[in-house]
């Protein structure tokens, strides 16, 4: 994989995630907007060789941590990154069963891989507030509210993955993905 191309496109998707929040956010559904980093991460998960999927999705998870600030004091690096790492494992297990070149496959995988990512992320933020752990609870954090909001975010992201996936699929040669064997496994 061409890491310079990955960096440039990740920066563009990060800028879209941060800059289009007021334009694409739905005010009715608690500020739900599509997760562009998730769409790009699933695309990388479907197309890249096995060894680079985990590194790429971990990097995108760290970028997602920079945007998500549930704690008023600062940024907690880790929950989103570990969620994206769990999503990398999920996409690597499922991608051998799928037709990778389809935009519909990308949209469906955004929804299902996003479930893994958000469950891990919400569990880690919620676990931070348990009394026997050293971290302080996140103020105003409600796991049920977060799960409902993130579910609607996944629906919106899956719908947005169709036009974005069309552009990404056409630019597949830009990333210089090596052809991987069809029966690969993650070790």
pLDDT of residue 40: 95
CB atoms under 10 Å from CB of 179, counted, come to: 6
CATH number at residue 138: 1.10.1760
- CA torsion 15-16-22-25 (nearest 10°) is -140
**Has residue 122 been placed in a domain?**
yes
**Is residue 129, in this structure, part of any structural domain at all?**
yes
Burial group, residue 181, by CB count within 10 angstroms (0-12, 13-18, 19+): exposed
Residue 163 domain flag = yes
* Cβ within 8 Å of residue 107, ≥6 positions away: 158, 159, 161, 162, 165
Q: Which of 68, 52, 43 is nearest to 149 (CA)?
A: 68
Q: How many domains does the chain have?
A: 1
Task: Specify if 12 maps to a domain.
Answer: yes
Q: How far is CA 57 from CA 46, 64, 133, in A?
A: 11, 10, 27
pTM listed for this prediction:
0.86
Range of the domain at 61: 3-175
- 113 assigned to some structural domain: yes
Indicate whether 118 belongs to any domain: yes
Backbone angles phi, psi at 26, to 5 degrees: -95, 115
Indicate whether 183 belongs to any domain.
no
Cα four-point dihedral sign 13, 18, 59, 99: negative
What is the pLDDT tens value at each position of the chain, 187 positions in all?
888 999 999 999 999 888 886 677 666 556 688 899 999 999 999 999 988 999 999 999 999 888 876 666 667 778 899 999 999 999 999 988 888 889 999 999 999 999 999 999 988 888 877 766 666 667 777 788 889 888 998 999 999 999 999 999 988 888 887 655 455 544 4
Q: How far apart are CA 74 and CA 168, in angstroms?
A: 33
184, part of any domain: no
């Amino acid at each position: 994989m061409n890491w310079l191309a990955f960096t440039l496109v990740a920066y563009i998707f990060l800028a879209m995630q941060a800059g289009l929040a007021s334009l694409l956010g739905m005010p009715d559904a608690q500020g739900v907007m599509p997760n562009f980093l998730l769409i790009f991460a699933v695309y990388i998960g479907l197309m890249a060789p096995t060894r680079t999927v985990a590194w790429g999705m971990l990097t995108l998870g760290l970028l997602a941590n920079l945007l998500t600030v549930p704690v008023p004091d600062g940024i907690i690096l880790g929950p989103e990154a570990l969620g994206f790492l769990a999503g990398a494992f999920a996409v690597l297990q499922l991608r051998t069963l799928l037709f990778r070149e389809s935009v519909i496959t990308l949209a469906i995988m955004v929804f299902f891989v996003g479930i893994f990512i958000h469950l891990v992320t919400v569990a880690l933020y919620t676990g931070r507030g348990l009394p026997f752990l050293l971290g302080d609870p996140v103020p105003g954090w409600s796991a049920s509210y977060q799960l409902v909001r993130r579910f609607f975010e996944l629906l919106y992201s899956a719908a947005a993955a169709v036009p974005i996936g069309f552009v990404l699929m056409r630019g597949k040669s830009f990333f210089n993905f090596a052809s991987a064997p069809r029966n690969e496994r993650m070790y």
